[in-house]
Amino acid sequence: MPIPSGARPQAVGDVTLAELPALARELAERVRGAPFRPDLIVYVETGGRLLAWELCRELGLKAVAVEAARPGRGIKRIFAPLAAALPSWASGALRRAEERFGVHRATPRRVTLPADAGWRDRAVLLVDDAADTGRTITAVRAALLGGKNPPAQVRTAALGATTPAAWKVVDFYLFDHNRRLPWSSDSGEREAARRLWVVRRPPSV
């Protein structure tokens, strides 16, 4: 499933905005190659938004957004300004340490679903940007299936699944190790990505 490390010429592990359409196309091909035909994309705000926008174009689908927040400020938010100020090699080292020690593993997620999303009895592709521990995607999937009007099927997709725990819960992914995404706090493209968040909202149901 994953692309082997080193298969892409990205020395510091960056994914750029320019690469995102091709990566989404590759991810869509993996979905098409599986015995699963999604009727709808459900994506996690806001990290999954630009990937979902591209996947909607590739798969010809509409989408619904859901929220999955960590209570309080959380480690990631507290240290985001620090990460943004560090050189790329240092922020990369922090990412590897975060992945290795699973600092988010014990943090619960609070999932907020729209009241009437229209996914009842449909096949849903659940999309997030990346899964480090798999807890966010697991929590959202459980909320979807445990709701009043559950979908018939849920499969999950992300650009990266970076730990053994995440590999077990993400069905379609490209990278098996941590990558700096354009909207990450330590990315040089963060402001450009935030501007795209405004204009590239996936088509809603």
CATH code for position 67: 3.40.50.2020
pLDDT at 31 over 90: yes
Whether 33 maps to a domain, the answer reads yes
pLDDT digits (tens, 9 = 90+) for 187-205: 999 999 999 999 999 999 8
In a domain, 10, yes or no: no
Let me know if residue 159 belongs to a domain: yes
Q: Is residue 101 part of a domain?
A: yes
Task: Output the pLDDT for position 11.
Answer: 37
Give me the number of domains the chain comprises. Answer: 1
On whether residue 165 sits in a domain, the answer given is: yes
Assigned domain for 187 exists = yes
Mean pLDDT of 165-183: 95
Q: Is residue 7 part of a domain?
A: no
Give the rounded percent of residues in the chain with a pLDDT score beyond 90: 64
- Per-residue pLDDT reduced to its tens digit, 58-103: 999 999 999 998 765 444 554 555 555 555 545 445 545 555 555 4
The chain-wide mean pLDDT, for the chain, equals 83
Asked whether residue 89 is assigned to any structural domain, the reply reads: yes
* Reduced 3-state DSSP string for the chain: CCECCCCCCCCCCECCCCCHHHHHHHHHHHHHCCCCCCCEEEEECCCCHHHHHHHHHHHCCCEEEEEEECCCCHHHHHHHHHHHHCCHHHHHHHHHHHHHHCCCCCCCCEEECCCCCCCCCCEEEEECCEECCCHHHHHHHHHHHCCCCCCCEEEEECCEECCHHHHHHCCECCECCCCECCCCCCCCCHHHHHHHHHHCCCCEC
Q: What is the pTM of this model?
A: 0.80
Range of the domain at 44: 20-199
- Among the residue ranges 41-45, 67-71, 143-147, 163-167, the one predicted with the least confidence is 67-71
Question: Mean of the pLDDT values across residues 115-143?
Answer: 93
* 106 pLDDT higher than 80: no
